Every structure is written in C-alpha cells, then in structure tokens.
Structure 1
Amino acid sequence: MELEGLKRCSSELERFNVKVVVTDRHRQVGKWIRENWTQFSYHIKYTGMCKKLDSLAKKKSLSILKDWVQSLKCHLYWCALSSQTPEEKKQKWLPCVDHLQNVHDSCLHPPITREKVWLLPGILFYFFRLVELLTKTMFVNDVMKMSHLGQTSGVEAFHSVVNHFVPKMYYFSYKGMKSRIILAAMHYNENAGRPQKSGGYCLRKILVDTILLYILNQIFA
C-alpha cells in the first residue's frame, strides 16, 4: 500500500522542489526511490528504527533489555540529529555496544556517576541477541540513512486529524471523503504548531484552545 501510494503521488511531487524524502523502514519503498528518484536524498525516520528495539525487548526471554531500550532510543536520536554524514552516524552508533559493557573509551559523554545495570559479555544470552541486532549490517546501514533534517511527526499528526474527520468505521462517497479531507487539512493548517498554555503547573503539555476561524472565513468568503 505504501509503495503504491508513493507511485501515484510521484508525478505530483516532481512538480515541487523536493530535495529530501523521509519514510519508514520500508524496503520496497527504499528500493523504488533509489531506482527511480535518484535526484532525491533518501532518509529513514527515527521512529522506524525504534520499533526494532521495542520488538526485541517485548520477547519474554529478553525482558531484561527493557531497562536499556529507552537509553538506546535516546542514543539513536542523538546520532541522527548531531551528525551530518552517514559515516559519522555509524561511528557514533557502534560504540554503544561497548557502553553496554561499561567500557567508555569511545564514548563522548561525561563520566557516569549513577548506578547502572551493565550487561556482561559472554555470560548472558540476551547480550548476544542485542549485540547481534545493534551491529547487524542491515541495521547499521539504516542508522546511516537516518534523517538528520526532520522527522515525519507532522504527517502523522495530520493523519490523526484525518481519522477524526473521516472515521474508518463509516462509509463515505468520493465527494464526501474528499470534502472531509480538505476540511481536515484546513483544520490542521490552522492549528498546527499551537503554543503551550502558560501559567500553573501540569505534568503534561497542554496547548492553547483550538482555533476555528477558518470556518468563518469560508462561510463569509
């Protein structure tokens, strides 16, 4: 489905001055872009890489890795944003294997003072499974392709707005669905990037109220 959607919108994208394409870890999409869109720079989004780490930690025999998954995600994100070249991302990522063993010769962080449960090589089964994933050629190649320019969080937020205006549990005609998607796009463009409310204390981020002025603009246009 992802590949077919990309093929259908390829002619429209070529009309714009697109330089970079960021997608999920979809092998068919990546291959098609490399073969047909050689003029574009292809990158992989950060969240697509995290899914592989989550799937490994969910296994019952490897549940102890849950304590390290979040740290690996943060390191993965740092490798993507702080690097400019694929080789730099690779060189920053590979030392994490030594870091898990409490060996920090290649690490750039300051000395660690807090207590950590380090993984012991050659003893525990889950250590081999984790190292196998972190140093796998395919995974390292994906690390080198991670986007340091931007992520797809904005597109995913728009898709959630579309699901609100066009619920998948209901049937709509073509015109009805098109109208609702246009309305969802107007709503998203009007309210994307809303600032956070000021004053008071809260444990989660609370944005300012939604703006619906675009409805009045269409009525009185």
Structure 2
Amino acid sequence: MTVSGPGGPAMPTGHDVPVPSGAPAQGHGAIGPQPAQPAPPAPGAGVPGPPPGPGATPPFAAPPTEGRSVRVWLGLGVGALAALVCCGGGGAALVGLVVSGTQALNEQARVVVNDYLQAVRDKEFDKAYGLLCDADQRRETPEEFSARLATEPDITTYHVGNATSPPDVTVPVTVTYATGDQRSEQVELAQDSSTGRFEVCGIA
C-alpha cells in the first residue's frame, strides 16, 4: 500500500516496507530459525536394570597377582620369627620362675631359722617351741623344752647360711655361745602339711 503526498512520490506504508534477506522479520509472530531439538532417549536407555537374582556373582575385577608371592613369604617369615621369639621368651620365663622359686624357698627357710635362734637367745622358749615341727613337739612338751634350753649356754651371736634344695631342706648356722665356744650346726626343716610353712625339725 502507498500513500501519495502532495508534490512528491508515493511513500510506502509500514506494511509495505521490504524486509532485507536474512534479517529477522518485524511484527508480531515473526520467529527466527530455531535450534535443533535433541532426539528423545530410546526406550529403556539410562534406566538401571533389575538387580541380579540370588546366587549371581557381581562382575568384580580380579585382584592383582603382582607381589602376592612376596607378601605370602614375608608373612610366613614374620610368623616363624614370632614363634622363635615366643619359644625363647618362654624358656627364659621358665628359668626365671625356677630361680625365683629357689630364692623364695631360701628366704623362707632362713627367716624361720633366724626367728628360732633369736627366740632361744632371748629366752623366749614358748615362741621357740611354737616354731618346732609336729614330730619334735610330740617328743617333748613345752615345759621339757624350756627346762632343757635353760641348762644350755646362752647364745651371744649366730650366723644363718643358705638353705639346701628340697626334699631335705637344711640350713647351716654358726652359733657363738657366752662361754666362747662356737659351733657349726645344721638346722633341719620340714613343711607344715596344712600351712606349707617351714618348721624346725631337729638340730645336728
């Protein structure tokens, strides 16, 4: 559509304006070229399948075998070393128990002999009688025991040695009397059946 103006050529209206090639169209409803739309996913694509049934083995990758032999032999070597150390430690522990037991026995025996000689030296005859074994107490009453020791020379000093090993445990002693005499004697010991304590069971 054109409109004629006075004294001039006809002017095109807005509806008759030509649109350059490749330029977007003016006006309502004009749409340029649209980008291509992605194709819809195929049926079942991207959807996890059903879980495997009972007894199915998952497809795990096989473990690497490189270095396995080295680790096995290393483990065996460490185990053998540990066993050797344990055996050696067990032997040392056994020796330690034997030594500790011997020392404990010697100490107990020496304590009993020392208590007996000290009681005799201090004229505590009842206390000394209580340290005798059952056999010696059956052989002599407390009164007889006290009367016999009262007639013997007084003890001034004494020395207690180390006990011998079981079964016949004896303790060597050196006793010095007020008369100046000095005797080396063996104190025989026996263990009480109920308490396990050592008791004086004769002096030779």
Q: TM-score, normalised by structure 1?
A: 0.21
Structure with a larger share of its residues in helix: 1
Structure with a larger share of its residues in strand: 2
Larger-gyration structure (1/2): 2
Q: TM-score, normalised by structure 2?
A: 0.22
